[in-house]
Structure 1
Amino acid sequence: MPLFCLESRDTHAYDQLPAAVTSSGLTPTPKGPHAWNLRIRGLALKILVPVTLLSLICLLVYGPFDSFLSSRAELLDEQRLGADAVAQDDEVIVLPPLYGELKVLESQLPQHNLSLPFPEGKNGRYIRFENQMWGVGLNNQLEEILILSHLAHLSNRAYVFNNYTWDQISKGPYVYENGRPRATVIPLTAFISGPTAGGPWAPGDPAPRAISAEWWETVCPYEKRLVLNSTLENASMGLAPDVDGDILIAHWAEKLRNLDHECVALDGWAPSIVDIAFFVSNRVTSLFPMMSDSPVITRFAWSSIVRSGVIANYPLLLPGPSPQTISELPVLPGLVAIHLRRGDYYNHCKTILAPEGQEYMGWNRIDGLPDRFTPPPGAGGGALTPEAWTVYLSHCWPSDEQIKEKLRVVRAEDSTLTRVFVLTNGKREWVSSLKKKLLEDGWEDVATTLDLNLTWEQSGVNNAIDMEIAARAQTFIGNGFSSLTSNVNILRISRGMALEDIRFW
């Protein structure tokens, strides 16, 4: 299947919005105030209307626009979609990739065929969760996607995968945040491969393959659908709001498996079966034994765009020749990867995590991990004392000195650790300063997210590239409150990496 062996094209060309147009030398000589106003308005219309129209057209069909402005295209190494601050030229705004070619490849998946025998084809068994998250980060959505894909597999139904959706209200391909464009929708296959995104199950596994949301509309027209309300169904199954995750998923799997309807959908207006609140509670940990052995996890794979980004940056991460494929080196020996959330995370920690007395998130809570966290007295129920805030801050926003000290601890425990990779959305000035301090503290080499050499395509999924580097590092120090750290950890554990090599601030 071409979708699962697609190689990233090696281009550094960025699509751009046109530079500001000046009217220098075009201002007419006025003849009285009225004439002046008329001429200025006329010139404004002549100049601004065509430029505005051109800009809108280019935003919608930016592929041709790339060649139109190729003479001015330049690689801005500051462009990182996961970064807090992006340095932009006054006259250039970089447009992130939309990966439209992947939607074409998705449409060509072999399971998108009405003639296939049961349990696929026109009489196949399908489940679509119309109430999945959107408008939150990749890893909040990914942790839900993986559990729902696992539920679909247990119920012998094809999972219907959606795009990664940041904004499903806006009609255009981009929204602007903090002065920079962000894609409203990205194909899920830009980030991941494997069974959840339509790849094959293991030989002999009878489960139907996942299909795209677009093919769902063909194979499951509205009149064929049975629509379930999660709130009503939970009540009918006697499931309390705080039921443990393993019981919740087992009941839903039995429910979906025993339904005769071919096309089942979860009502988009009802709560998700596993929402964000689920992942910040102890309910999730009971699912870990099942999930870590699930083919959804054991056959999980990043997209070829992500994999190519990791392979291309091996020289930055590991001395010696680079591997030809990502499977040639399961562990990056001597490397400790550290996850440092910055940007708006300080406020998130102070206004949400600490006042609510939250514990670590998702898979960061499982038994056997060496670093545990118990909310201190003075945090929770909306209260937050200065002493409690100091404790929370050290875990969710460690200072430079605390970062250095934690790294000294893990190096003292394992002297083979000699190099550091920093996953971060921090500002360039701070990242550079931290890098210098770590080198002065005795580390042989320090690389960061900002040092990665990425193509234009790879820059749109750089957070996933960071994650795969962290998943392959010999040791990982993560942020226990982070869904990114949580997803990295379940990948590490499913690959047989030691629990003691997963640490937290």
Structure 2
Amino acid sequence: MFEQNGRNRHGRDRLAKPVMYDPADSEWGILSPRPLNRWAKKRPTKRVMVLLVCIFIGCVYGVRVWRERQYFEEQREQRQLDYAKDQGSRQRVEHKEEHKEKKPAPPVDPNDPYAGRPKPPLFGKYHQAELAMPQHHVADPFANGKKYLWVENHVHGLGWGNHLQDLVFNAQLSYSAGRAFVFDNYTWNRDGSIYSDFNGKLIPSQIPLSALITSPINGGPYFENDAKLRGIQREYWHKICPEPKLVSTYDVKKLYNGNEPSALTILNTWVDVLSKIEEPCVKIDGYTERIFDMYMYGQKERLLDIWPVLRESPIVKLFGYSPLIHATYEANRHLFTTLPFYEPYFPCSAVPGSTTDGDLQKLPPARCSDPYQPIPGLLALHLRRGDFADHCQNLARWNAAWMGFNSFPSFPDQWVRPESGGNGESTPENMDMYMRRCYPSIEQIVARLQEVRAHPASKGLKDVYIMTNGKPDWVDELKGAMRAMGGWDKIASSRDMTLDAEQKEVAQAVDMMVGERAQVIIGNGWSSMTSNIVMMRMVRGLAPETNRFW
């Protein structure tokens, strides 16, 4: 660029003061004040390139604008055609409807007792799921000496609490005798009807157990290798056992020592009788008395001696609720707790909260949780209304005691029978005492809440869930009185749950699950539902002082 004499190739001194830039020497002539001169000095090849680029960009833009205009024009024409077709079709349909002969309403079947009344669901898919269980599809149902027990005279026509009591004890007998339990539906009416009338509305006459529970009671797995113990559905039983061995409870009752045997005596006597029967199919006569009589459940002297056997049994240790009940709980969990949902449930074993060596056990601890763990801060109240207004008065007239499982000696609240009254009569003092603890008024409920909140086991209570069949107006009045107490973050009730048609028919099981999980429960000592809740709380190891009563 520079010669030896220090001048550049244009003859200028490199050390001299710079001169004005000469546009004639510029390749592009950017600083030229004369465009024509600047254009003339450019290289021809680069001028052509610039022109081509500009022409290309212009063409692309022009084609794009043209295509967009064409596209929008086509869309406008298509919309006009669609509108014309729609108008024509609508006119034809309207014309057809105007001239169509109207069909008369279908006649009401005079022989249909349910005509014109809302019909509840029948849970058919749950029944089919039960029949699809693997134990109903084996080559030999009597392989390895498998035997069965069908208790035909089980409870029916009573509430879920009474039905569950009977289920647990009959299933325990079958398990202790080494026979597979034959389970039936939750039965309100066994006359073959599909619907029954209850307080003026239709309810299902039978509900499959799988819509309510998941347990060895209704064909679920046991702890151990259970090929010989897995329960079967009644329909399958009738298929494989057309001629079973018939046993009458009247014959077995003669073997009892006394007229009011304890629960453990009844269990052991029946186990001894069944162990001597070689036939694989045994049926308890449906026209005889129940194995475990109804009075036993309300007599702690007769009932509690079976507790050491029952609390270690898979019948109750593996007891759980159905997917339908869990789904209902999750849909309404905002009513039971203000805690955020932070951990999904992944079972640790066949039943939550237990540990086995089964196929379902090998899960990472971080993903394993118990869906029945206590809900911190939740107080559950069981307030039975409705028919209990008369029932509680009847209990007073007969000096009835609490249910046996509501009477564990370790509970802080106990029932002491009054000395006066009984045999169908009662004094005003006795009646007041029974009604206060069986059918308390709102003022009595609030006073009892103040007492329970003062107990150390109630520390941290902040949410209340009221399990009740009371009328909405009464529930609202109770809520108002409880809010006036202060100290509650949330107060909700069974009446606040959002339920679909199926969930409405099993809502009592949802209440039971919430009661089992509450930090503290205040229950009704004469209620079978409270009794079942308390039994499961004791099985799961909750402190006895968290079980309170009115």
TM-score (norm 2): 0.73
Structure 1 gap ranges (5+): 1-45, 60-91
Match for residue 262 of structure 1 among 274, 280, 289: 280
CA-CA distance at 1:457 after TM superposition: 2.1
Counterparts of 2:372 and 2:485 in 1: how far apart (Å)?
A: 28
Other structure's SS at 1:354 match: helix
Is 1:321 aligned to 2:340, yes or no?
Answer: yes
Amino acid at match of 2:108: T
Deviations 1:188-221 (A, max 9, x none): 2111111101111114356411111101101111
Match for residue 133 of structure 1 among 150, 155, 162: 155
Partner of 1:231: 250
Is 1:302 aligned to 2:337, yes or no?
Answer: no
Other structure's SS at 1:338 match: strand
Partner of 2:304: 285
Partner of 1:85: none
Partner of 1:142: 164
Partner of 2:473: 429
Is 1:209 aligned to 2:254, yes or no?
Answer: no
Other structure's SS at 2:134 match: coil
Match for residue 158 of structure 1 among 173, 180, 183: 180
Amino acid at match of 1:309: T
Counterparts of 1:218 and 1:452 in 2: how far apart (Å)?
A: 41
Other structure's SS at 1:131 match: coil
Which of the pair has more CA radius of gyration? 2
Other structure's SS at 1:293 match: coil
Partner of 1:477: 522
Match for residue 249 of structure 1 among 267, 274, 278: 267
Counterparts of 2:130 and 2:461 in 1: how far apart (Å)?
A: 41
Bigger Cα displacement from structure 2, 130-139 vs 250-259: 250-259
8 Å contact from structure 2 (residues 262, 296) kept in 1: no
CA-CA distance at 1:119 after TM superposition: 5.4
Amino acid at match of 2:433: V
8 Å contact from structure 2 (residues 266, 292) kept in 1: no
Partner of 2:198: 177
Match for residue 102 of structure 1 among 126, 147, 165: 126
Partner of 1:450: 495
Amino acid at match of 1:404: V
Counterparts of 1:473 and 1:54 in 2: how far apart (Å)?
A: 50
CA-CA distance at 1:56 after TM superposition: 4.2
1:53 to 1:473, Cα distance in 2 relative to 1, 3 A? same
Counterparts of 1:499 and 1:116 in 2: how far apart (Å)?
A: 46
8 Å contact from structure 1 (residues 190, 303) kept in 2: yes
Amino acid at match of 1:193: T
CA-CA distance at 1:117 after TM superposition: 6.6
Is 1:195 aligned to 2:216, yes or no?
Answer: yes
Counterparts of 2:371 and 2:198 in 1: how far apart (Å)?
A: 39
Counterparts of 1:93 and 1:428 in 2: how far apart (Å)?
A: 23
The within-5 A match list for 1:289-368 is 289-322=308-341, 323-325=343-345, 327-328=370-371, 330-351=373-394, 353-368=395-410
Partner of 1:42: none
Counterparts of 1:365 and 1:317 in 2: how far apart (Å)?
A: 27
Deviations 1:285-336 (A, max 9, x none): 1112211221000000111101111122222221232243382561110011
Partner of 2:444: 402
Is 1:53 aligned to 2:98, yes or no?
Answer: no
Other structure's SS at 1:432 match: helix
Deviations 1:384-438 (A, max 9, x none): 1111100100111011111111111121123311111000000010001101111
Other structure's SS at 2:401 match: coil
Counterparts of 1:105 and 1:220 in 2: how far apart (Å)?
A: 21
CA-CA distance at 1:116 after TM superposition: 4.2
Other structure's SS at 2:181 match: strand
Amino acid at match of 2:264: D
Other structure's SS at 2:311 match: helix
CA-CA distance at 1:98 after TM superposition: 1.5
CA-CA distance at 1:173 after TM superposition: 1.7
CA-CA distance at 1:257 after TM superposition: 2.4
Counterparts of 2:492 and 2:111 in 1: how far apart (Å)?
A: 37
CA-CA distance at 1:501 after TM superposition: 0.2
8 Å contact from structure 1 (residues 341, 425) kept in 2: yes
RMSD: 2.1
1:56 to 1:231, Cα distance in 2 relative to 1, 3 A? same
CA-CA distance at 1:175 after TM superposition: 2.0
Counterparts of 2:441 and 2:180 in 1: how far apart (Å)?
A: 46
Other structure's SS at 1:278 match: helix
Is 1:439 aligned to 2:483, yes or no?
Answer: yes
Other structure's SS at 1:271 match: coil
Structure 2 gap ranges (5+): 1-102, 346-368
8 Å contact from structure 1 (residues 127, 265) kept in 2: yes
8 Å contact from structure 2 (residues 142, 280) kept in 1: no
Amino acid at match of 2:523: G
Counterparts of 2:424 and 2:233 in 1: how far apart (Å)?
A: 42
1:202 to 1:482, Cα distance in 2 relative to 1, 3 A? same
CA-CA distance at 1:115 after TM superposition: 1.5
8 Å contact from structure 2 (residues 256, 265) kept in 1: no
Counterparts of 2:503 and 2:467 in 1: how far apart (Å)?
A: 16
CA-CA distance at 1:128 after TM superposition: 0.6
Match for residue 504 of structure 2 among 459, 462, 474: 459
8 Å contact from structure 1 (residues 420, 447) kept in 2: yes
Partner of 1:272: 290
Aligned length: 420
Is 1:492 aligned to 2:537, yes or no?
Answer: yes
CA-CA distance at 1:242 after TM superposition: 0.6
Deviations 1:372-391 (A, max 9, x none): 11122333111211111001
CA-CA distance at 1:112 after TM superposition: 0.9
Other structure's SS at 1:327 match: coil
8 Å contact from structure 1 (residues 376, 391) kept in 2: no
Fraction of identical pairs, as percent: 34
Amino acid at match of 1:388: N
Amino acid at match of 1:384: S
Bigger Cα displacement from structure 2, 455-464 vs 135-144: 455-464
Counterparts of 1:298 and 1:473 in 2: how far apart (Å)?
A: 18
1:329 to 1:482, Cα distance in 2 relative to 1, 3 A? closer
Counterparts of 1:105 and 1:156 in 2: how far apart (Å)?
A: 25
